[in-house]
Amino acid sequence: MSILKTSLIQTSLTWENHQANRDNFTEKINSIESTDLILLPEMFATGFTMQPEGVAETMSGKSVQWMQEMAVAKDCAITGSLVIAENGNYYNRLLFVYPDGSYTTYDKRHLFTLAGEEKHYTAGSDRLVIAYKGWKICPLVCYDLRFPVFSRNTVDFDLLLYVANWPQVRIQAWDALLKARAIENMCYTAGVNRIGQDNNGHNYSGHSQVVDGLGDYLLEPFAYEDVLTVELDKTELDKARKKFGFLHDRDSFTLQG
């Protein structure tokens, strides 16, 4: 499949209110006529909370079931992260839900120490690369964006995804790093962020965007609430990779720690 229609939902989040957020995203997802992949922000059901004890769900909880139901109903994949409790630990867990309702998961590796995330959540270790409709997709979460070694394109993935709650005060870093990840990995890179203010007083200006493998915008950063869909063309990406061959010159390395 050469074309992958990708929809980014940029919206405010209701603090620690699963039902209100699910209702909001249901309305926005139902407004999408046709797409292959829907991107939701980090911790889309709660906001970026450091109080997982009060809001964590299980993998059989309502938000996971909701993602499955929406994916089946819209016949597309949906991804975003949730606060998940499992085996006595809490995880900032990204789910990639396929159109048939099955899913795979990635636990955020780089926990945001500036907010004390590592004190409340357990870090993941393994990177996830998904095969979907002929595309290789690598989904990551927010702070992962600052660590290029972990997102280095060692397996020729076509699309790098970041779901985030990235605050306005550091939005220039978000813009710069998304372009950098796209260019150095010669892949499409999409970042979805929230807007509004959370209960900690942090402001969010969105800047959800899509960048191609040469660093050009397919969707320029925007700061308003909207649902926007972009068509990604794998044939064009393959042509650019063949023409320039930058990935052939990448260094070999082993990731530790």
Q: Which two tokens stand for residue 56?
A: 């964590």
What contacts 172, CB < 8 A, 6 or more positions away? Answer: none
Q: Rounded to whole angstroms, how far apart are CA atoms 256 and 147?
A: 13
Cα–Cα distances in angstroms (integers) from residue 200 to residues 50, 66, 141, 166, 173, in the given order: 10, 27, 20, 13, 21
Residues in the chain: 257
Phi-psi region of 133 (alpha: psi -120 to 50; beta: other; left: phi over 0): left
Helices then strands, each counted (H, E), the chain: 5, 14
Q: Rounded to whole angstroms, how far apart are CA atoms 16 and 52?
A: 10
> What is the CA angle 70-234-241, rounded to 5?
140
Phi-psi region of 180 (alpha: psi -120 to 50; beta: other; left: phi over 0): alpha
Asked if 122 contacts 90 with a C-beta cutoff of 8 angstroms, the reply is yes
Q: Rounded to whole angstroms, how far apart are CA atoms 29 and 155?
A: 31
- H/E element holding 148? none
Any idea which residues carry the catalytic annotation? Answer: 42, 108, 142
